[in-house]
């Protein structure tokens, strides 16, 4: 049996050290989400890089290995991190590689599918719709050819479906960077990151208050437990601060390039806000969103009081707004459209 170390750092993720191929460690850890990476030659926990240690899986893996007779040591260090910008750049690079891989696979499948479909049509056309002559000596070959054509058609359809799936995945991978950097997506991400940072700060304060309260009550906590908790929370806080700074800088660069970031100061009641191909009457401008009418006509291009469903309203977040028009401009446009009808 082997001496195994389960090592975790945020820079490298969770790795299994001391294992060799064929020793059964990988098979034992598969249910816990561990995989083998040929590029580095390590068994690793999928999705663990740049994240806090998943102690549930790590402890489960440790118990599984010990039950198999291995000696297991844990080495968890939350302070070893890599720059968020480096991690983000690597994600974009890997997305580009995935896009090329799926595009190439889709091309191969498409070519094979077309060839099989053409071959199946050629076989079927050779009989020109002639029925099988059951009592004729050619019946066996005729039926075999028709079955072969049917098989080719089935294989062609299956490969076409797989080619379409690969083409879709290639498109998603190619759009990955653009999607990550989209202003609306970035604003929503920043809202979440700021909320997460405030929660971490509250947790840090709670740990300190709990430690102080236990000490005053004469039942002090283990100092190492307090240190471990604060070290982990401090690493979380540093990660969040770095991500927030990165995306704040990105939004500033986007605005400097001329992209409009909409906010409360851009709208007054009576204006119209655009979302895709629709315009919504602004009833109220809130801190995070606009209050707009809810229409009875879901096909309408303009949502206003004329087609409002009673007094029902909805909200339109600023990060989804794509344009603005004053009430006077909308009235003039609607009158011009009516005059041309």
Residues 207, 275, single domain; the answer is no
Final residue before a domain boundary, out of 201, 235, 256:
256
Please name every residue paired with 225 in a beta bridge, in sequence order, or none if there are none: none
Q: What is the pLDDT of residues 184-193, one digit of tens each?
A: 999 999 999 9
pLDDT value at residue 142: 85
pLDDT value at residue 173: 95
| CA distance to 149, 197, 269, 330, 335, per residue, from 341 (Å) | 56, 55, 29, 17, 10
- Over the chain (341 residues), the average pLDDT of each successive run of 10 is 89 91 87 86 89 93 92 92 93 95 97 96 84 78 89 96 97 94 94 96 94 88 89 93 96 94 95 94 95 89 90 94 94 87 65
CATH code: domain of residue 299: 2.30.30
Final residue before a domain boundary, out of 138, 154, 177:
177
Residues 206, 222, single domain; the answer is yes
Residues 335, 269, single domain; the answer is yes
Residues 113, 159, single domain; the answer is yes
Residues 173, 96, single domain; the answer is yes
| 69/20 Cα distance (integer angstroms) | 15
Residues 327, 270, single domain; the answer is yes
Residues 228, 168, single domain; the answer is no
pLDDT value at residue 82: 92
Whether 63 contacts 55, CB under 8 Å: no
Final residue before a domain boundary, out of 256, 278, 307:
256
Q: What is the pLDDT of residues 285-335, one digit of tens each?
A: 999 999 999 988 888 899 999 888 889 999 999 999 999 999 999 999 988
Residues 71, 130, single domain; the answer is no
Q: Which of 72, 46, 51, 50 is closest to 60 using CA atoms?
A: 72
Whether 166 contacts 109, CB under 8 Å: yes
Residues 100, 172, single domain; the answer is yes
- With helix as H, strand as E and coil as C, how does 245-306 read? HHHHHHHHHHHHCCCCCCCHHHCCCCCEEEECCEEEECCEECCCEEEEEEECCCCCCEECHH
Q: How many domains does the chain have?
A: 4
pLDDT value at residue 341: 65
Residues 111, 63, single domain; the answer is no
**Domain that includes residue 26, residue range:** 3-77
Residues 164, 99, single domain; the answer is yes
pLDDT value at residue 338: 81
Residues 172, 92, single domain; the answer is yes
pLDDT value at residue 197: 97
| 65/28 Cα distance (integer angstroms) | 7
């Amino acid at each position: 049996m082997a001496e195994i170390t389960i090592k975790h750092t945020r820079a490298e993720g969770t790795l299994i050290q001391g294992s060799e191929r064929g020793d059964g460690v990988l098979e034992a850890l598969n249910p816990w989400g561990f995989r083998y990476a040929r590029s580095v030659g390590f068994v690793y926990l999928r999705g663990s890089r740049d994240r806090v240690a998943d102690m549930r899986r790590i402890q489960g893996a440790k118990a599984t290995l010990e039950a198999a007779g291995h000696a297991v040591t844990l080495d968890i260090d939350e302070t070893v991190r890599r720059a968020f910008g480096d991690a983000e750049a690597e994600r974009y690079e890997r997305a580009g590689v995935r896009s090329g891989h799926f595009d190439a696979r889709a091309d191969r499948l498409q070519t094979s599918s077309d060839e099989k479909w053409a071959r199946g049509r050629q076989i079927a056309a050779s009989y020109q719709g002639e029925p099988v002559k059951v009592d004729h000596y050619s019946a066996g070959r005729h039926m075999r050819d028709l079955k072969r054509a049917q098989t080719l058609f089935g294989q062609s359809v299956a490969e076409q479906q797989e080619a379409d799936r690969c083409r879709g995945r290639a498109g998603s991978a190619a759009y990955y960077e653009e999607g990550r950097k989209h202003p609306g997506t970035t604003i929503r991400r920043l809202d979440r990151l700021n909320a997460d940072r405030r929660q971490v700060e509250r947790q840090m304060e709670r740990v300190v208050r709990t430690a102080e309260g236990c000490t005053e009550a004469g039942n002090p906590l283990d100092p190492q437990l307090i240190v471990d908790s604060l070290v982990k929370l401090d690493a979380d806080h540093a990660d969040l601060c770095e991500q927030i700074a990165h995306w704040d800088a990105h939004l500033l660069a986007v605005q400097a390039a001329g992209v409009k970031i909409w906010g409360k100061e851009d709208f007054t009641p009576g204006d119209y806000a655009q979302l895709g191909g629709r315009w919504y009457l602004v009833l109220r401008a809130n801190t995070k969103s606009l209050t707009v009418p809810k229409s009875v006509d879901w096909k309408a291009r303009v949502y206003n009081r004329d087609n409002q469903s009673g007094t029902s309203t909805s909200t339109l977040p600023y990060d989804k707004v794509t344009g603005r028009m004053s009430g006077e401009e909308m009235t003039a446009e609607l009158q011009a459209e009516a005059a041309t009808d």
